[in-house]
Structure 1
């Protein structure tokens, strides 16, 4: 019995956390307010309160599970039984959560509108380049590579050379690599 209650409290707490992160007001919260829909802020406040209560219930059910395991287990076998039942409860909670998560609505991602590219003069610009430029400046630059990626490019380029020139190509490529690459600029 405690295992089922533990799993349900876990799923409830996760559902409220998911709702808060995605800005979705669950049906249970809407029903608490009455026939009128709550405002977004009030709905999120209620979700935070219910999430906190669900986590408190979770710790309570965990303590109940511990007490039940120590009562029913033979002397000295309580901790092993508690860990086994707690693992089972966590697995049940994970299974139920995956089923609940599949039924929850997803937050729609905003679509980035493309912008018109203004060409000065009459340059001949390929269609693919114009498409990338219309996405904005974020998409127009190559990401900066870190040291390991740069070294990987050097080794990959050197592998295409003849076998006697590979070592010379690697050493020449390593010599021209910048000594310091700012890691905070690397795109990950």
Structure 2
């Protein structure tokens, strides 16, 4: 089964979760049309407070539906959009992609910039959920499982059922870090 879009989401307000939409329009260099996080500079409140002129490397948030399956096994009920993603995928190992990977989704292209850094709001959504998506590794580093962030490199419409084509950047490949 090819990699595909399970669902798409947007929210014009700065809220934790995003409701499902029939389709979303990605705008090159901006993000998801009608979403509170769209813009050329950072839109996440904590980052705006630090430096509002910082380039927005978090225009689009993608989460793999397989994570939601894992959370269900651990006793959590998390539906697509609940964790604030714009695009829920299936069949793509998002967390294993290198920086600069280009995802062709529908007629749009999203370039992966890094890992989402989950915050306390996840526990506000469901108690204990943060420990499921932000876990310590044996070597002392932190494993971030809450999806990836990207920028819109080519605009277009994305909807449920669209296939996802993965194009890795030229080597050497750099691992994703939090953005």
More helix by share: 1
Q: Choose between structure 1 and 2 for higher RCO, CA contacts under 8 A separated by at least 6 residues.
A: 2
- Higher Cα Rg, which structure: 1
Q: Which has the higher strand share?
A: 2
Query: Normalising by structure 1, what TM-score?
Result: 0.18
